[in-house]
Amino acid sequence: MWYFSEEEKALQELCRDFAINELAPKAEHHDNEESFNIEAFKKMGEIGLLGITADPAYGGSGLGATAATIVMEELGKACPASTLSYLAHSILCVNNIQNNASEEQKQKYLPKLISGEWIGCMGMSEADYGSDAVGIQTRAKLEGDQYKINGSKMWITNAQYSDIAYVYTRTGEEKKNLTTFILEKDKNQFEVGKPIHKMGMRASPTGELIFKNATVPLANRVGEEGDSVYHMMKNLEIERITIAGISLGVARACTEQSIKYAQERKQFGKEIGKFQLIQKMIAEMSTETDMMAHFLYGVAKEYDNGNKGPAIAAKVKLALPKMATKIALDAIQLHGGYGYSREFPVERLMRDNKLNEIGAGTNEVMIMIIAKDLLKDLKPKK
């Protein structure tokens, strides 16, 4: 984008090279095996990507939503699943600790998370509470100078590999009485349940976190009891912006694959790119991708400039994943039988992107948020 800073342009180039060399060659393998590219993940720490929004005092880059979205797009072009694991670590865990934790907690956890020595996750959703995140039932009870936590979290990205979990719990009967804790696996503060096998994002590990009378010291509580709903909602804004960056990467990859295929594939004695219907498909895919980019980065830049709010984040989260799925399906159609097979990456990209219409808030929840904001001044009739 024309308004990227020199630092953001350098970051874009760094991520593009990393995606080509470290993610793309192994994306198909890890998708087939449902395995995690942990080697590439650790290298992200070595090159400074794991703390993209964290303070340099703890080893972070001190950048904003625009920079984080650049990373998501470039990595997402090569392997959306690995990028989802990156988002869960850098935005859901690291960014939350950076913004909400005490100085002592930041010093304890951020350096090892940012270097890649530790892997992090965030526990919000539960088996019966996905979209209704504020209704969660995992409970923390204060007993002396420590808490006992009981419950479980479902659909947790990075669960099987995480050393640190940033977990939301209930500490009172009121629905909004939620409290956050930073839990450590090596202190038996959480267990990992069965892995979850998925249609897409198969190279991103997903599992269950289980808490059975987990003993957690008061020092691991983030902030005060009952003040975590605000933290949760604020971090969801940057999560929704940045996850849309993965969908932008998917759209770009599908468009580029389609252009390449149209130049090489021949039918009826000539390249299919010479047929007007194919030209129409490619022209529309490219135009839609550029529209996505301008909308997304415009919102990310506004967010960095202080223009924040749930509705605008919900709009990009609603629009981009839906558009990327449409573009991916068009790419499959353009590739014909090859597109439906695993000979080309477009079918994997489509499967991966579908998660972005569900995770971080479903399309339907985004519509509710947007409509509520638009109609907030509507007075009920007497």
- Active site (catalytic) residues: 239
d(CA 222, CA 187) in angstroms, rounded, equals 18
Q: Give the DSSP per-residue string, 162-188.
A: -SEEEEEEE-SSSTT-EEEEEEEGGGT
Query: Which residues lie below 8 Å from residue 216, measured CB to CB, with a gap of 6+?
Result: 140, 146, 147, 148, 149, 181, 183, 189
Taking CA 124 as the corner, what is the angle to CA 31 and CA 30, rounded to the nearest 5 degrees?
10
Type and span of the H or E element at 39 = helix 38-46
**CA contacts within 13 A on the Cβ side of 56:** 3
| Strands, E assignment, the chain | 120-123, 139-143, 146-157, 164-170, 178-184, 191-192, 206-217, 221-222, 266-267, 270-271
d(CA 156, CA 51) in angstroms, rounded, equals 20
Check if the beta carbon of residue 136 is closer than 8 Å to that of residue 104: no
d(CA 43, CA 165) in angstroms, rounded, equals 21
Strands 206-217, 146-157: pairing is antiparallel
For residue 70, give both structure tokens. Answer: 């650049």
Taking CA 375 as the corner, what is the angle to CA 369 and CA 380, rounded to the nearest 5 degrees?
125
Query: Which residues lie below 8 Å from residue 166, measured CB to CB, with a gap of 6+?
Result: 92, 93, 96, 97, 120, 121, 122, 123, 180, 181, 182, 183, 222
